Each structure stands twice: as structure tokens, then as C-alpha cells.
Structure 1
Amino acid sequence: MQFVVGRVVKPHGIRGELTVEVRTDSPEERFDPGVALVGRSRDGKTRPLTVAAVRPHGGRLLVRFEEIPDRTAAEEARGLTLLVDVDELPPIDDPDEFYDHQLEGLRAELADGTVVGTVREVVHSPAGELLAVDVGEGKNRREVLVPFVTAIVPRVDLDAGLIVLEPPEGLLDG
């Protein structure tokens, strides 16, 4: 199993550097020189990538990979999703911290056991993390963004495969 640590936005310069949007809480570990990643294109094809160099740039990272030597190769890498194997992740010691892949797919319920939907994705925004929860079925299916804060998501039970929601009035209304 793999999870997303970044996305290639665009090439930068002529030496193969790429502007990368970070999607991990540990960019210093995930993009350290020598780290092996997998690049997945929109059509699902994958390729191995090894970090050669990295530097911060305007809230993103500029990353050079050993396999991308120049601007032409960098253009071909535009839009790649950067992945790491779950097996390579260190364990999390804090019981209130989770990797995105642990939350995606969990059943969302209210405190009384009423099923609300399924967590489809964790959205990282400047204001904090949001859970994109698919609510409803068929033509009534829609996405609700739930702030991932203790006041609204008081319980995460990975073993039971669920999160418990205590949403403020109107949050789940369509």
C-alpha cells in the first residue's frame, strides 16, 4: 500500500528541478536526498524516483530527482503524484495523530450510531485538516467537508473502522 507525500506542480528552471506541493507532515524525512519515492502519472503508470536535492521555495519545495536530468524530463513529470510505501512509515506515538491513509475509508457515524457516510480523503488546507466525507447514496450522494478537530471528531477508532462526529448544526445539511 502507498500513500501520497506530494504532487509535482511544474518544472522550475532548466536543470530538471520540480516545484512540489507537499502533502506530508514530515517533508524533511520524505524529501531527504537519497529517499526513494514512486511517481504516479494521471494514467496510473508509475516510475521510481530518488531525491537528489531539495530546497524550500515559496511555501513549496523545489526537488531534483536523479532520474530527471533536465527541463524536458521535468516537463514530462508535471502532475505526478509522489508516493511512499506505507511499510516505510515510522509508527506514530501520539494517539491523536494519524496518517491520511489510516483515516481514508473509515465509516463516519454520529454519537448515537447513525451512519453519516465514509471518509473519502483528508484535505490539507492552510486553516487545518478537513475530512472529505461522502454522504448519501446514488443521486443524493455529496461531499461534506468536516473540520478534523476534537470538538467535531471526538473519537477515531481505527480498529473498528470508524470516526464519531458531533457536528454543529447545519454542517451535514445539503
Structure 2
Amino acid sequence: MNIENFNISSKADFSSHKKTKEKLRKIKPKTLDMMFEKAHDEQFKQIDCLTCANCCKTTSPIFIQTDIDRLAKVFRMKTSAFIDTYLFRDDEGDYVLKSSPCPFLNTDNTCFVYEERPKACREYPHTNRKNMHGILNLTLQNTLVCPAVNEIFKDFSKEFRK
């Protein structure tokens, strides 16, 4: 996966993806969820996250309290020390990483804390969940981060042209 090429092409595709998002808003919620789930499954048969890890290199998950407590225990730290070492509160008041790439990302794109990773990491890129209507804006933004999400939007765009 050539991340530089992906970054350029995903930005070029973004305005088209915005139009696709507006068309997706008109689809019934259950139908939209099924469309995304099917597209998610198809993309992740082809894409191996370990060849990319762009999400881990460029963005931060939101850490909920159970994530913080669990990871503090892994590192044998007090919760407050874990927060002071790795996290800060963003503009919305959520705990996120102080820096990127993720400090838990290994050089081979594996995750040092994979079994204990935050809930947001477990669920990323969120394209196989219920209530896709509620996260279409986030999913659109994820087309700039995740090649699989970008491909899903490209496929949906082709469907709408038919």
C-alpha cells in the first residue's frame, strides 16, 4: 500500500464522496446498514490492514474510561499516570492520544496492545456497524484515512451512476 498515492487520490475523490454521502442519506437505515456491511466484508477480503496502518499513523481513537483503566493495568501504571503519559482531552472533552503515530504501533504495523486495544480501534473503520446514518459524516472523513472506506465509497458511487 503506497500511502502517499492513497493520500493524493483520496483527497481527489473527496468531493465525489461528499455527493455519494448525500445519496446514501436517502436510503432507508436498515438497507444502508446492510449495504455497508456487505461492502465492508468485500473490502476486507482484499485489504490487509497490516500493509497500511494509516489510521494508527495519522489519527487517534477516543479512549473511554474502560480503555484507559485496562491499558493502565497492562502497563502497571496508575490511571492518572497513563493519562498524563499518553493522552489529552480534545475540544469535545474526549481523551485522545497526545501524538501520532500511535505510541503502541510497532514498526511492522502490528499493535503492541492489540488484545487490549481501545474499543474505537476494535471497531474501526466502523463500516460494519448498525446505524450508519448516524455516522455518515465520520465515515466520509474516514475515506481520507482508510483505503477500504475510500473503496467502499467508490463502489457506492459507481452503483449510483447506474
TM-score (norm 2): 0.26
Structure 1 or 2: more helix by fraction: 2
Computing the radius of gyration over CA atoms, which structure comes out larger, 1 or 2?
A: 1
Which one has more relative contact order, counting CA pairs under 8 Å at least 6 apart? 2
TM-score (norm 1): 0.25
